[in-house]
Structure 1
Amino acid sequence: MIPSDPWGVRTPYAPGQPWPARVDRHTVEEPERWVQTASLLHSNGDGIDIGVRGNRIVGVRGRESDRVNRGRLDPKDVHGWQANASPDRLTRPLVRRDGKLVETGWDDAMSRIVRRSSELKPLEIGFYTSGQLFLEDYYTLAVIGKAGLGTPHMDGNTRLCTATSAAALKASFGTDGQPGSYTDVDHCDTIALWGHNVAETQAVLWMRMLDRRRGSSPPAMLAVDPRETPVAREADVHLPIRPGTNLALMNGLLRILLRRGWVDRSYITAHTQGIDDLERVVDAYPVARVAEICDLPPAGIERAAELLGGAKRLLSTVLQGFYQSHQATASAVAVNNLHLLRGMIGRPGAGVLQMNGQPTAENTRETGADGDLPGFRNWDNPSHVRDLAALWNVDMATIPHWAPPTHAMQIWRYAEQGSIRMLWISGTNPAVSLPDLARVRRILSRPDLFVVVQDIFPTATTEFADVVLPAATWGEKTGTFTNADRTVHLSEKAVEPPGEARADLDIFLDYAARMDFRDNAGAPLVTWHDAESAYAAWQRCSAGRPCDYTGITYDKLRGGSGLQWGGERLYTDGVFNTRSGYCETYGQELSTGAERPASEHSGDGRAFLLATDYRPAPEVPGAEYPMRLVTGRTVWQFHTRTKTGRVPELDRHAPSVWVELHESDAGALRIADGDVVRIESPRGAIEAPARLCGIRPGTVFVPFHYAEQAANELTRTTWDPVSKQPMFKLAAVRVRKAGS
């Protein structure tokens, strides 16, 4: 249970009306000035003003004019800024001497990194970044990796939370980029949340949904989640699905819509291709079969189909319950199929949001810091690679495009095998966030792996570093970032960073200068020197691509609301980014991830309807490990608590790990509420107090935020074949009372 209401008072409104403003504010002293920014502790993108007194942040307030939040703040927005002043900030570089990390100067630290980089071949260097840096940081890093070093080994922890979003959008629509908009909440008559606990992951978006639900003509709501989350309790229909069976449910729902004529045949004919194959696949999923696979009541499946089929304006949101589960991309694509079959794309209230888990995940994908080519370009299209080579004035052969970019899980495998010998980790804590943590610790401990960690605090990961670089954070540097509905915000520098900490952009620029990366003319490869000039370079790179930033300037972003690239909604004319010369991918086989060659691509501006059969998950409960573990989040913490764990107001609500059990499971195991239980998987074990709740029987939930008794001691190194996103929600476990 959530100990208090983090969503504040309701401001009900009717369909078609603008969302009323509600300005949230929290200060500890009266600010002397206010500085513009947006949230960096969740992916909603709330517009915020930072209150400053002297060189101290003393509070925040929501930006009333901002299109995303209309003045509201998430609990982490309200309190998270206090972590900036935590006394254990990293303020000087650290290097490993005689087995211990000791303070040093920037010249020594950077010289060590440059020396090691120069000793290695490009294919021996990897970068693992975050979804919490700024666009300007990512683009600079992408240029360094792709045009400076020429390494394909670049990805981020966005692979853990948002890779399936990108993969599903590319598969259905030709390129990345959310079709929908947060303002679709204002117009819809039905909201479907597919594995998306929006109440705790994007609290302000949930406020918007609740306000519509409390107004006249409220939208109906469907929730698909094995847990009884706040969203499930609010929904008109809750399907507590068996983990790992999302695709079977989606196939069954699509079958009902097609059989009952709840589809837009004229839209399907004019704007999609693949309907015959889709109908053939889903025809094998009658309600009775789906109910058995998903362990759901047939009446609940029927009622969900009625909500979806009767909607005039359907909004779908998708997140980790689909992305981190079995057949992730195929399941997320099936949500796209639903909207295409119903013609629910590109108009107010009718849209799909394949959500992001981190605040700047969209920027990693746009700029190529996730390994893709910048500007949603196709690594397998020679003309796209040639355009980049001309833009950067480098040889085309320098840019890695001979194979798909190296995804994060493969980067870690290469480090394990010894072919990657230097790994630069920026703004993330993989020693807590990656699956199968015992394996991750073994990799980071390899004596032949040179580990650079760039962060703001000591973490479980910095303990393994050869060099630690102290970074500036939100409020201490300038840059832009883009949320899940393509809204770009400017975050201005409000205060100086502590000690010798540097902005991430300045660190990357220093590295580029010391490495002396040059273009074909002998000029410096990286020509920008600050955030605004880096942004201008990105504008040139994005010109003419779907994520075109050329019309969004720093000046336009100052003083008002964030701005969306691509307009409020994409595909309003029913023309999609699937043409062979424009698309970001030629497609992948949904069940295997096999890349399709250009010769087999049939893109012509119509969206793709893609379907595949459900298959059982790779690890299922059995006699030895009879229960299913799912991991997730709480509204009070963010990722591995690097910041939120240092804020008393947030930490007291969720200071340590717990495990959720159904009362029937607890009774059979003689476990009472609050008892410490031991959870074991084939990979490890943790102990945590039990919370008895409405989770589905046979399922165990553990939040993943905590380094002590970390949920990822239990999870397995398995990933979706298309998006390469790890399956955090598929571990088989056993549970008993600790000490018994």
Structure 2
Amino acid sequence: MASEIPPEPVHQSRNSIEDIWGPRTPYKHEWPTRVDQACDEEPEKWVQSACVLCSNGCGLDIGVKNGKVVGVRGRAMDRVNHGRLGPKGLHGWKAMHRQDRLTHPLIRKNGRLERASWDEAMDLIVAKSKELQKHLTNHSIAFYTSGQLFLEEYYALALVGKAGLHTLHMDGNTRLCTATAAAAMRESFGSDGQPGSYRDIDYTDCIFMVGHNMAATQTVLWSRILDRLAGEQPPKLIVVDPRLSESARKATLHLAPRVGTNLALLNGIQHLMFKNGWIDREFTSKHVVGLKELEATVSEYNPQKVEEITGVSAADIEEAARILGTTKTLLSTALQGVYQSHQATASACQINNINLLRGLIGKHGCGILQMNGQPTAQNNRETGCDGEYPGFRNYQNPNHMAELAKLWNIEQIEVPHWSQPTHIMNLLSYIEQGTIRMFWISGTNPLVSLPNLPRVRRLLTDPELFVVCQDIYPNETTAIADVVLPAAQWGEKTGCFTNVDRTVHIAHKAVDPPGECRSDLHIFLDYAKRMGFKDKDGNDLLPWSTSEEVFEAWKKLSAGRPCDYTGMSYERLTGGSGIQWPCNAQNPQGTERLYADGRFFTDLEDCETFGHDLQTGAPYTKAEYQKQNPAGRAILKQCHYRPPAEEPNEEFPLRLATGRNVFQFHTRTKTGRTALQKSCPEPEVRVSEADAAKLGLSTGEVVIVRSRRGAVEVKCRVGNVARGQVFLPFHFGYWDSTDGRARAANELTVDYWDPISKQPLFKSGAVRIEKIVDGKEGPHVREQQTAAVEQASKKDAIATTSEEDLTQRERQMELWLGETYETMVQLLQIYEKLIPQLIHNQEVEFGVATLHEIGEDMRKRMEPHVEKLGENKQRGRHRAHILREALFPPKDTRGGSYEVLETLQGLSIYLSHIKGSLMALEPVSLAMWDQEFYDSVQYARGCVHRMRAWVKEQIRVKSPQTLLVPVRKPAE
């Protein structure tokens, strides 16, 4: 493998592997330009683009000669990087010339991936799709995409899933890295979208970096901070990180909490801000809600308690609060150390709170950058390819869904809005249950990146699962796929993408892709055409042929939303710098930072969500949101700290965190095929000096790291991490491994996730380190990727999803519908016979007669749907009968007032049971796109609400007198 790695560029402005951040250019307010460049030859022409190897979004030009990429240079005029590039930007392009590119479609035949034509591959995918539609509904098909595609490609995919198949089963690997960023901004500000700007670094007096090792994850942005630190009036820098990272080394104050305790630390800082009066009362009185609730919650988190939870000294907590509480300007940032850790969304919201409490948002040098982990993650969220709806629309808002339906020219019921889109961990559960039978993966490598890899390997090699994998190089996931589609990559296609601070860049095609590679956009458009997706007028749902046409369509959908692109065009984006959204008639040059006017996207008709309970993850209703009445004000969210689900113990005494290395990106699909690989050739587990001494470990020694889920065998590196904690980079899988050792960090990780953002908690769970003492070279823990490939080799793509698997099934909806209908029948029996037998009360008897009329009306509305859809009674006695007998036991005589109350309580419980049954049928009717069925369910829910309201009032009226005033004892 090492011999195949391309050499470093011949002509470089610097050796960026040895000099990662480049020479210092100290400044204040205006970051000087410095153009970084790396070429093998002098280009014939330069083509405008931007870097896609971290979330920074640096503008660059691609050098081309004889139809081949020969180098890159930073764009001097670009607002993001002022000409600078990091090591990944200066080396990543070299992977384009590797000989192991996927260049033609592959289909698994008799266990082997064999070359096929595009028609053969796409016809097979469409045939499988239609077969599954027929037997298992559209909801048996799922998509899992990337943070690497272009905006136009995401939007096309969103239309394929949401408007073509009308399914919620769409997510992206952005779920693994930035879902919490989006969730926290929705909770605090009403909508996704970064409030801050990179230029805030140029003006700020204080930078607060929480769980964000910028020196490794965004090297160019870190060089900007280094230049500020080296210049006049450098800002204070507070870094929260369990490791002594390169970022932490430069900190004014480094806080190293125990993994999983961010929320307690942030609550403790806010406690001191309230205690010391470091609150902008004028700002909070006008522009936030929830101040009293937040103050009450954080009042419990004094420095001594927080030190006990986090391990951070009370003195350091007090110093951090003092700096944050007194600084004139503040820029806060966060990344995976927050998002992938315990109580992720709750913690990210507290970072927002700190800026809001100080009123330091929307001003020069003031803002929040809830960072992304990937270059096009923002577009994935904007267009609705993961846990969002296009244009940051709210699925709980019928007006937003009606707007989408109008823009797409489909029926409103066909817009999948019965729930939030299905996140990847639930997609895996549905695969496990056998109800998802086609899984289309584009631009990502889940057999390395997902948590609990032993389970993921088992699921994705299920003999009945049809796996489509769309990528640019072979990897662990393409190796087990049934169909592999070769995709064009960056530099081989045209499209736009948006970085962390909302800067939109255009990346022009510089060279043709090799072999038969096609752009992701071309693939999705081809699938839509072959599937025959139409709007309600019979026109093609995706009628475009070029990326620019898709961009123009996207602009219409973004109009009036927070991410408004209507003022942009390919022409405007070409030739100069990227432009920040919103860019429209009101902001023709783009928008530097959001919320400068103190108004947030929290109006009822603007907001992307009605929010959640941060502890349980339960979504709030529209009524609960209205009760908060944010009305354009930010929302201060609060939550108590709770310990993680898996804490260290005697068997597994160390806390695990996984993360990034400066030289590698994600699963190394690109960076592992460049000279960057030489600088980081294999994973190492980082252990504290104290833990290493206790175990007798030394740097370079091979050890076993073991969790409850699996084990890896890797080298050890001692130092620069807090005691009791270990760190392992997640980049490494098995596509280039030769020694047979298990080494993927996700062999160890828990498959828990945050209750709001649904982001997996990679920085969670407990492990132990085992010293190898047998003297054998190993492997002592053998990798299981080879076994997964062997399992896949038993498959044949054409035969995947057997006829028996498709036809020998029983739908559960008829069973539920039958049970629900029977509860209504039994309710009428309760009204007619049981209640009159049990009690004698004129008011109740009169009311029950009215309830009987409502109940009969409800039953009649549901009866046609039971007749049409069928009623499954194969399970014997209905639960309705059992519940009725339990709640209304027969009695010899009719009772008095206490028995009346008991009977009313029983009726309340029975009606609640019907309510719960109908609650399940509401999203089912929407997922069936059956308007009449949905209307009948809604009508029935209204009837139950009326009946429950009557019962509730009777209980409230009768209970005081019945329960408080003594009654005569019955005669002996």
Bin for the TM-score computed over the shorter chain: over 0.9
1:629 paired with 2:653, answer no
Q: Which structure shows the higher helix fraction?
A: 2
Shift of 1:472: 0.3
Aligned to 1:358: 374
Q: Deviations over 1:486-508 (max 9, x none)?
A: 00000000000000000000000
Contact 1:687–1:738 (CA under 8 A) maintained in structure 2: no
Shift of 1:603: 3.0
SS of corresponding position for 1:182: coil
Q: Which runs of 5+ in 1 are unaligned?
A: none
Contact 1:125–1:420 (CA under 8 A) maintained in structure 2: yes
Contact 2:177–2:340 (CA under 8 A) maintained in structure 1: yes
CA distance in 2, matches of 1:87, 1:331: 45
667, 672, 679: which one aligns with 2:693: 667
CA distance in 2, matches of 1:82, 1:484: 25
SS of corresponding position for 1:618: coil
Q: How does 1:45-56 map to 2 (within 5 A)?
A: 45-56=57-68
1:613 paired with 2:640, answer yes
184, 187, 190: which one aligns with 1:174: 190
Kindly, what percent of the aligned residue pairs are identical?
57
Q: How does 1:259-658 map to 2 (within 5 A)?
A: 259-566=275-582, 567-601=591-625, 602-647=629-674, 649-658=675-684
Contact 2:263–2:343 (CA under 8 A) maintained in structure 1: yes
Q: Deviations over 1:481-534 (max 9, x none)?
A: 000100000000000000000000000010011001000101111121111001
CA distance in 1, matches of 2:425, 2:372: 19
CA distance in 2, matches of 1:108, 1:617: 49
State the TM-score, normalizing by the size of structure 2.
0.75
Q: Counterpart amino acid of 2:762?
A: F
Q: Which has the higher contact order (CA 8 A, sep 6+)?
A: 1
Aligned to 1:9: 23
1:230 paired with 2:242, answer no
716, 721, 727: which one aligns with 2:755: 721
Shift of 1:5: 3.1
Shift of 1:3: 7.8
Shift of 1:64: 0.3
1:255 paired with 2:289, answer no
1:703 paired with 2:719, answer no
Q: Counterpart amino acid of 2:568?
A: I
Shift of 1:363: 0.2
Q: Deviations over 1:664-705 (max 9, x none)?
A: 111110111111111000000001111111200111110000
Q: Counterpart amino acid of 1:669?
A: L
CA distance in 1, matches of 2:126, 2:768: 47
1:682 paired with 2:708, answer yes
SS of corresponding position for 1:222: strand
Contact 2:288–2:630 (CA under 8 A) maintained in structure 1: no
Shift of 1:188: 0.1
Shift of 1:739: 3.9
Q: Which structure shows the higher strand fraction?
A: 1
41, 47, 50: which one aligns with 1:35: 47
CA distance in 1, matches of 2:763, 2:27: 36
CA distance in 2, matches of 1:677, 1:311: 46
CA distance in 1, matches of 2:772, 2:660: 24
SS of corresponding position for 1:585: coil
Larger radius of gyration: 2
Aligned to 1:114: 126
Q: Counterpart amino acid of 1:44?
A: N
Q: Deviations over 1:599-629 (max 9, x none)?
A: 1113300000110100000111001000011
SS of corresponding position for 1:102: strand
Q: Which runs of 5+ in 2 are unaligned?
A: 1-15, 583-590, 735-742, 775-972
CA distance in 1, matches of 2:705, 2:355: 40
CA distance in 2, matches of 1:99, 1:429: 21
Q: Deviations over 1:561-601 (max 9, x none)?
A: 00000200000000000001110001111011101111111
CA distance in 2, matches of 1:683, 1:156: 24
Contact 1:539–1:550 (CA under 8 A) maintained in structure 2: yes
Contact 1:528–1:537 (CA under 8 A) maintained in structure 2: no
CA distance in 2, matches of 1:205, 1:76: 13
Which stretches of structure 1, 4 residues or longer, exceed 4 Å deviation after superposition? none
Aligned to 1:68: 80
Shift of 1:405: 1.3
SS of corresponding position for 2:679: coil
Cα separation, partners in 2 of 1:89 and 1:100, compared to 1, 3 Å: same
Q: Deviations over 1:621-647 (max 9, x none)?
A: 001000011100011000000110000
Contact 2:17–2:676 (CA under 8 A) maintained in structure 1: no
Q: How does 1:119-130 map to 2 (within 5 A)?
A: 119-120=131-132, 121-130=137-146
CA distance in 2, matches of 1:577, 1:739: 60
CA distance in 1, matches of 2:296, 2:501: 33
Q: CA RMSD in A?
A: 0.9
204, 208, 216: which one aligns with 2:232: 216
Shift of 1:371: 3.6
